[in-house]
Amino acid sequence: MEDPGKILIVEDSAMQAKRLRRLLEEHGYKVVVAFNGKEGLAAVRENNLSLIVSDIIMPEMDGYQMCRSIKQDPRVCHIPIILLTSLSNPDDVFLGLESGADSYISKPYEAKVLLSRIESVLTAFEKRKEDRPGEELEVYIGPKRYLIKSSRYQILNLLLSTYQDAVEQNRILREMRTKLVMVNEELQKLVAERTDALKQEIEERKRTEEALASEKERLSVTLRTILDGVITTNTEGEIILMNRAAEEFTGWPQVEAMGRPITSVCNLIKTETRESGETVVANILKSGGLFGVGDEITLVSRGGTERIVAVSGTPILDQINRIIGVILVFRDITESKRIEEELVKAQKLESLGVLAGGIAHDFNNLLTAILGNVSLAKMYSTPGDRAVQRLDEAEKASLRAKDLTQQLLTFAKGGAPVKKTVSISDVLKDSAKFALRGSNIRCRFKIADDLCSLEVDEGQIGQVVHNLIINAYQAMPDGGTIEVRAENSTIWPEQDMNTTLSSGRYVKISVADEGHGIQPEILPKIFDPYFSTKKRGSGLGLATSYSILKNHDGMITVESEVGLGSTFHIFLPVSTKREPKNEQVKVRPIQGNGKILVMDDEEMLRNFVGELLDLLGYEVKFAADGQETLEVYRTAKRDGSPFDCVLMDLTIPGGMGGREAIQRLLEIDPCVKAVVSSGYSDDPVMADFRKYGFCGVVAKPYDAEKLSEVLHRVINR
């Protein structure tokens, strides 16, 4: 198929240019588009063109000027030009001749007329090559003088196209006259019918108007009630409508905002850089389509309130697809962005907790070996020897390191509480001092002398106190005093505390600060997950504290007054067990006898435990994981020399740990006696070891005395 050629369209209306381009491309032409005369000249020189179709009225350079410039350039003067015009003035013909145009097309035009004209101009192109330029011809129309230099064939073609348009218009007029006669004949027939139908039409129109009014009211109500801000502007960016949400977002009532530029009402800035946001109206008008701001945008209201918003918009088109305005929609995403950020923080905190737990586990394994070997060294030493004193100091240092791992595990939340009966006094003092280390805050303690004992997880309750002390410290940036009180309290059945806390005896712990206090409107939200008024807060401290106390059958409440400070109250149920007395005299390891199987993946721990148990009178065998433990235990039972107890590490990296192994052992021997050991003190197996089939528990790090006591109790129970 022969190449029909390349055509340049010069049209300042993007919509008209798009429509014309589609028409020509559908008929096989290659098309280049320019939006004014200057762009057209550049396109003419850059492309090998067969024809130019150009509008006349355009910004910067009109069609006549562009036509003259092309005809004066010997490189491109041969390219035929069709001008698009309304032909409302006869002078247009001579202006076209003077500028060198080849043909006219009147607007509006039919597609078949335009295609026919293009084909005829292109067909005549070869004949024009042989046509000699004409001499200068002066034409006068009234006082106007036109100097025409076009060739005779070009003049004839242009005048012919003008004549063709006139003939086409005359044909249309004749057709319309004929139709008018026919319509007039029919009109008399229809008058009578129309008169009867008129009443029905009027009634229908009334019903339509009522329906439109009803629809308009429904749309108005919908617009007022949706949560997104909606603003409508004209093409100049002046506001013509706002809904209620937009009024709230911007701080401008619609009556005041009407007619104002949108940039003076919607103060948009880039959230990160605080730079002025993009002019969304201008971008929508320029793109002629949907638009969304790429950067995160903040809308600053008239009163200074800031909201992170998602901005989108679309142009409003009339019946002929002209843009007559813009609709902008602002969605407040402040809360969703905050929740998203807090989720990221929570994930980081969870990762930190896992890391802290892993470090504490490995550290506890090392401490177990250190404490165990110190115990062995002391057993090998003579009482009163100077080496024993040094070993005692090493043991004390290791125990302080044990406390450090417990503080590290404070950051690893979760797990069932591993409860034991304690006096809360030491927990309060240690946690408060640790949290305030190096600060300008003084802590005052008021702890009752007859304070009852509690059955709690020291680490988790220490975490609660730590969170409250940190909050109090942050509420007093200029320093001050935190008061920590602890007293016995009784909740009676008739006492209304707005809680499900059971009646009974409790220890009440209060942490009071002298800070700025908490606003009444946010006071009910402070225990919600991810709620925080701090720029760098995770919103998890108080939520975690609430969860820990709930797992201890306790409660936390708060009292606060703006400017005077806050007081948090903790209620923990009193223990029915007696607190074990701290023995001042160091007991020696308990001697025993029997056969013990030790399962641990750490070789240095197996070596220490093996030597220790051998000194205590036990026969010891070893296994590195659960699978080996099962094989050794099954073989010993089959040979008639079963083990009296199995000491099992809970976690075996890459192998079977204590939780799975004990279930398999119970299948082999329902009467097996097993002690679980782990550096993860927050594991639920450690908290409720009997539920999982164990007879005893010993947390790492442990020394010779603790291990011997647990084994003696389990074997001889």
The per-residue pLDDT for 53 is: 92
DSSP 382: P
The per-residue pLDDT for 111 is: 84
Residue 47 lies in a domain: yes
Domains contained in the chain, number: 4
Look at 459 and 332; give whichever has higher pLDDT: 332
Per-residue pLDDT for 241 more than 60? yes
**Residues 323 and 347 both lie in one domain:** no
DSSP 151: -
Residue 185 lies in a domain: no
**Residues 358 and 497 both lie in one domain:** yes
Alpha helix positions (H), 231-270 = 244-250, 254-257, 262-265
22-30 long-range Cβ contacts below 8 angstroms, 24+ apart? 23/111, 23/114, 23/115, 24/118, 27/115, 28/1, 28/4, 29/4, 29/5, 30/3, 30/4, 30/5, 30/6
The CATH number of the domain holding residue 291 is 3.30.450.20
**Residues 327 and 348 both lie in one domain:** no
Lowest-confidence segment of 31-40, 72-81, 384-393, 644-653 by average pLDDT: 384-393
The per-residue pLDDT for 581 is: 53
- 663 alpha carbon, distance to own chain's centre: 44
Q: Which residue type sits at 569?
A: H
Q: What is the pLDDT of residues 570-615, one digit of tens each?
A: 898 988 776 555 544 455 788 888 899 999 888 888 887 888 888 8
Residues 240-249 have a mean pLDDT of: 87
Residue 276 lies in a domain: yes
Q: What is the pLDDT of residues 218-228, one digit of tens each?
A: 776 777 777 88
DSSP 317: E
Per-residue pLDDT for 412 more than 70? no
The per-residue pLDDT for 542 is: 76
Domain of residue 127: give its range.
6-169
Residues 184-213 have a mean pLDDT of: 78
The per-residue pLDDT for 286 is: 66
Would you say the pTM of this structure is higher than 0.75?
A: no
Residue 105 lies in a domain: yes
The CATH number of the domain holding residue 72 is 3.40.50.2300
Highest mean pLDDT among 41-45, 343-347, 578-582: 41-45
Of 651, 639, 697, 693, residue with least CA distance to 671: 693
Q: For residue 16, which phi and psi values (nearest 5 degrees)?
A: -65, -40
**Residues 563 and 679 both lie in one domain:** no
Look at 151 and 589; give whichever has higher pLDDT: 589
The per-residue pLDDT for 674 is: 92
Q: What angle do CA 706, 708, 714 make, to 5 degrees?
A: 105
**Residues 96 and 34 both lie in one domain:** yes
What is the rounded distance in angstroms from the CA atom of residue 301 to the CA atom of residue 252?
Answer: 8
Confidence of residue 86 (pLDDT cuts 50, 70, 90): low
**Residues 325 and 349 both lie in one domain:** no
Find the radius of gyration of the CA atoms of the chain.
46
The CATH number of the domain holding residue 516 is 3.30.565.10
Distances, alpha carbon 693 to alpha carbons 183, 232, 247, 666, 686, in Å: 103, 71, 66, 8, 11
Highest mean pLDDT among 136-145, 359-368, 448-457, 493-502: 448-457
**Residues 122 and 270 both lie in one domain:** no
- Strand, coil or helix: 302: coil
**Residues 247 and 153 both lie in one domain:** no
Highest mean pLDDT among 138-147, 344-353, 448-457, 586-595: 448-457
**Residues 545 and 650 both lie in one domain:** no
Residues 208-232 have a mean pLDDT of: 77
Residue 202 lies in a domain: no
Contacts of 539 (CB under 8 A, 6+ apart): 342, 345, 528, 529, 530, 531, 532
**Residues 302 and 391 both lie in one domain:** no
Q: Taking a C-beta distance cutoff of 8 angstroms, is the pair 406, 418 a contact?
A: no
Per-residue pLDDT for 646 more than 90? yes
Residue 585 lies in a domain: no
The per-residue pLDDT for 680 is: 66
Bridge partner list, 291: 313
Query: Could you write out the DSSP letters of every residue in 475-496?
Result: T-TT-EEEEEEEEEEEE-TT--
Distances, alpha carbon 459 to alpha carbons 190, 411, 417, in Å: 97, 10, 9
Given 332, 363, 382, the domain boundary residue is: 332
Q: Taking a C-beta distance cutoff of 8 angstroms, is the pair 484, 436 a contact?
A: no
The bridge status of strand 144-148 relative to strand 137-141 is antiparallel
The terminus-to-terminus CA distance of the chain in angstroms comes to 103
The per-residue pLDDT for 583 is: 45
Residues 239-255 have a mean pLDDT of: 88
Q: What angle do CA 538, 543, 545 make, to 5 degrees?
A: 115
Which is it for the CA torsion 156, 159, 160, 161, positive or negative?
positive
Highest mean pLDDT among 294-303, 458-467, 485-494, 670-679: 670-679
Distances, alpha carbon 666 to alpha carbons 497, 646, 685, 692, 695, in Å: 48, 12, 16, 10, 12
Residue 220 lies in a domain: no
Given 332, 352, 386, the domain boundary residue is: 332
Residues 429-448 have a mean pLDDT of: 82
Per-residue pLDDT for 197 more than 80? no
What is the rounded distance in angstroms from the CA atom of residue 480 to the CA atom of residue 580?
Answer: 37
Per-residue pLDDT for 131 more than 60? no
Bridge partner list, 317: 323
Confidence of residue 355 (pLDDT cuts 50, 70, 90): low
**Residues 642 and 561 both lie in one domain:** no
- Name the average pLDDT for the chain: 78
b/e map of 569-594 (b: 16 or more CB within 10 Å)? Answer: bbbbbbbeeeeeeeeeeeeebbebeb
What is the rounded distance in angstroms from the CA atom of residue 345 to the CA atom of residue 500?
Answer: 32
**Residues 545 and 510 both lie in one domain:** yes
Residues 77-96 have a mean pLDDT of: 75
Helix (H) or strand (E) holding 6: strand 6-10
- Strand, coil or helix: 142: coil
The per-residue pLDDT for 406 is: 57
Residue 183 lies in a domain: no
Q: What angle do CA 137, 141, 142 make, to 5 degrees?
A: 135
Q: Is the peptide bond before 108 cis (omega within 30 degrees of 0)?
A: yes
The bridge status of strand 618-623 relative to strand 645-649 is unpaired
